[in-house]
């Protein structure tokens, strides 16, 4: 395979930056939402569950359009950010991270939720009867046991973010050096006469990154479960 050109390296580095930032954005929220869905007992739980998983069933273009409506310079949130802070998400790499975070969010929530649901509540109850406070129980028992799900969810979300196309191109367009991630670079190459070789090279790179991330998620989950004695 021919070496990557500077523009291709730029697309790769931007993809890694966008995916990393999207996981950093979404992971704390995913942990909180997964906890609510796994342990919460409240009205509207099923509605929240359905809302969280909407990105899995809606076309990515629809998600991108909704982000544009909300966070565009004329949207209620984006307009406020623009007027008050002179900060824009649309047509920026930060906006690309937001789009990928929304699309990969359900995957992280599901992995973390399954990990929480696999924890035996009797362990936490035993710690409570021994006088452990709620924070102590969470830090010493719950968090170590849910760590495999958190790590696996983060890596899977990262891999999904690397491959997101529809929501990104709809919300932040396809700007080289700013929002053109690997999938968008592949799309551009396919639209360019004679760009088939470049598209194949980038597609192979994208495939290798995705496989590596999925394998890493499995290895990390197994090792963490083993370390936790599960």
Residue 51 lies in a domain: no
Confidence of residue 2 (pLDDT cuts 50, 70, 90): low
| C-alpha–C-alpha distance, residues 140 and 134, integer Å | 10
Do the Cβ atoms of 92 and 82 come closer than 8 Å? no
pLDDT, tens digit (0-9, with 9 covering 90-100), for 176-216:
989 999 999 999 999 999 889 889 999 999 999 888 888 88
What is the domain extent for residue 114? 13-39+58-227
pLDDT tops 90 at residue 174? yes
Do the Cβ atoms of 159 and 216 come closer than 8 Å? no
| C-alpha–C-alpha distance, residues 106 and 49, integer Å | 9
- φ, ψ of residue 43 to 5 degrees: the values are -70, 135
> What tokens were used for 54?
């909407």
Confidence of residue 167 (pLDDT cuts 50, 70, 90): very high
pLDDT, tens digit (0-9, with 9 covering 90-100), for 26-35:
999 999 999 9
Residue 45 lies in a domain: no
| C-alpha–C-alpha distance, residues 145 and 35, integer Å | 13
- What confidence score (pLDDT) does residue 148 get? 83
- φ, ψ of residue 86 to 5 degrees: the values are 55, 45
Q: Which residue has the higher pLDDT, 145 or 66?
A: 66
- φ, ψ of residue 126 to 5 degrees: the values are -65, -40
Do the Cβ atoms of 10 and 178 come closer than 8 Å? no
- Domains of the chain: total: 1
The CATH number assigned to the domain holding 76 equals 1.10.3720.10
């Amino acid at each position: 395979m021919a070496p990557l050109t500077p523009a291709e390296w730029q697309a790769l580095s931007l993809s890694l930056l966008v995916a990393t930032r999207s996981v950093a954005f979404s992971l704390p929220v995913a942990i909180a939402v997964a906890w609510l869905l796994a342990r919460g007992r409240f009205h509207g739980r099923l509605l929240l569950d359905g809302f969280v998983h909407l990105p899995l069933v809606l076309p990515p273009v629809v998600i991108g359009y909704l982000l544009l409506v909300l966070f565009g310079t004329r949207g209620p949130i984006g307009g406020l950010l623009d007027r008050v802070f002179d900060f824009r998400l649309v047509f920026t790499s930060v906006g690309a991270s937001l789009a990928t975070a929304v699309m990969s969010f359900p995957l992280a929530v599901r992995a973390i939720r399954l990990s929480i649901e696999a924890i035996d509540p009797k362990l936490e109850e035993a710690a409570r009867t021994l006088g452990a406070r709620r924070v102590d129980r969470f830090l010493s028992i719950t968090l170590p046991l849910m760590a495999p799900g958190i790590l696996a969810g983060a890596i899977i979300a990262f891999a999904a973010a690397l491959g997101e196309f529809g929501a990104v191109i709809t919300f932040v367009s396809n700007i080289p050096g700013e929002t053109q991630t690997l999938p968008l670079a592949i799309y551009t190459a396919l639209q360019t006469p004679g760009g088939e070789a470049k598209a194949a090279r980038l597609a192979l790179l994208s495939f290798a990154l995705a496989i590596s991330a999925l394998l890493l998620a499995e290895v990390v989950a197994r090792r963490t479960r083993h370390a936790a004695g599960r």
